[in-house]
Amino acid sequence: MIRYVTAAKEASAETVIQKSRFISHIRPVADKAGADGFFAEVREMHKAANHNVPAFVLGEKMEHQWASDDGEPQGTSGTPMLRFFVSEGVTNVAVIVTRYFGGLKLGTGGLARAYTSAAKAALEAAGKVRIMDGVSLEIMMEYPVFERFKPFAARQGLNISDIEYGEAVRFAMVLRSEDKETALSAIRELSSNRADLLSVEDRLIALP
């Protein structure tokens, strides 16, 4: 089950509109403290900027939303960015747009469009991921069994990682919760029940 959609990574983008530079910064965050820390970092980098406009959306149901116009006319910057992320269904994300004024006023409508465009550019640079219920498995199996299992995993889109080669092969897999029984059944069948399931841990996973 998909819990929520968020930014895939931290990223930044720059646009120039009517000679003003808009530098957008985005980061996936888990809570307000993470967002506030991110905003502080960007403000420190851009002390000379005319504005550093922040916004965040938090919670699986987007229940926590906040923005500031940071000196821009009320409702022309932070709020349009919030609306954009809500319309995209993106949460647990913080964005802050730095503006270096270029000398030409954009008007209230122009500002709203500019900040929305900057937020969109940041999200495009970061990409989006789906956060889903998942499970991590740690498995050990004999070499011949592992060689038979690899093609199955590739066909099913199961990612094998952290492979260790010793007397047997030890590896990890992270997969969606709904794929767990299919994977375990295949492991039992291909190994004739000789594979060792070392650990099973429920967790949230990120998928494109």
User: Domain end: 126, 158, 185, which one?
Assistant: 126
Residues 140 and 68 in one domain: no
Residue 155 has pLDDT above 90, yes or no: no
pTM score:
0.83
Angle at Cα 132 formed by Cα 37 and Cα 198, nearest 5°? 100
Q: Would you place residue 22 in the very low, low, confident or very high pLDDT band (cuts 50, 70, 90)?
A: very high
Residues 104 and 34 in one domain: yes
Residues 120 and 138 in one domain: no
Residue 36 has pLDDT above 90, yes or no: yes
- 203 by Cβ neighbours in 10 Å (0-12 / 13-18 / 19+) ranks as exposed
Residues 191 and 148 in one domain: yes
Tell me which residue range forms the domain holding 66: 2-126
Residues 120 and 55 in one domain: yes
CATH number at residue 77: 3.30.230.30
> What gap in Å lies between CA 188 and CA 2, rounded to an integer?
28
Residues 89 and 157 in one domain: no
Residue 50 has pLDDT above 90, yes or no: yes
Are 151 and 138 in contact by the 8 Å Cβ rule? The answer is no
Residues 14 and 110 in one domain: yes
Residues 114 and 158 in one domain: no
Q: Radius of gyration over alpha carbons of the chain, in Å?
A: 23
User: Domain end: 73, 108, 126, which one?
Assistant: 126
- Structural domain total, the chain: 2
If you average pLDDT over every residue of the chain, what do you get?
94
CATH number at residue 202: 3.30.70.240
Share of the chain above pLDDT 70, in %: 100
Residues 113 and 181 in one domain: no
Q: Would you place residue 1 in the very low, low, confident or very high pLDDT band (cuts 50, 70, 90)?
A: confident
Give pLDDT tens digits for 105-120.
Answer: 899 999 999 999 999 9
User: Domain end: 82, 102, 126, which one?
Assistant: 126
